[in-house]
């Protein structure tokens, strides 16, 4: 019989990527080095420039999975507040 590990996971919605930090987020992308559109720098630039912000109808709600203080997985997500045809 195989038993699951004793690791407890927790999901969190993160609205500001500075709460996670570039090194921690990008460490998840070791197999995706050629994809700049999921890197912390790109996603943070969208938010910092105001392109992906609540005021434009794109509220950051990144889904993250944690084991204690260790980030295990993340998905960049945005909550759409209107339908202006984008």
pLDDT in tens, 59-86: 999 999 999 999 999 999 999 887 776 6
What global pTM score does this model have? 0.80
Give all strands (DSSP E) within the chain, no chain letters: 10-14, 58-60, 62-67, 70-75, 78-80
| For the chain, domain boundaries | 10-80
pLDDT in tens, 13-61: 999 999 999 999 999 988 766 688 999 999 999 999 999 988 888 999 9
Judge contact between 72 and 65, C-beta under 8 A. yes
């Amino acid at each position: 019989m195989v038993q699951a590990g004793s690791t407890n996971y927790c999901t969190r919605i993160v609205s500001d990527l500075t709460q996670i930090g570039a090194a921690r987020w990008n460490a998840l992308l070791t197999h995706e080095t050629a994809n700049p559109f999921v890197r912390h720098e790109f996603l943070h630039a969208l938010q910092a420039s105001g392109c992906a912000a609540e005021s434009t109808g794109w509220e950051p709600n990144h889904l993250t999975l944690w084991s204690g203080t260790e980030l295990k997985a993340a998905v960049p997500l945005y909550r759409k507040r209107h339908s202006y045809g984008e």
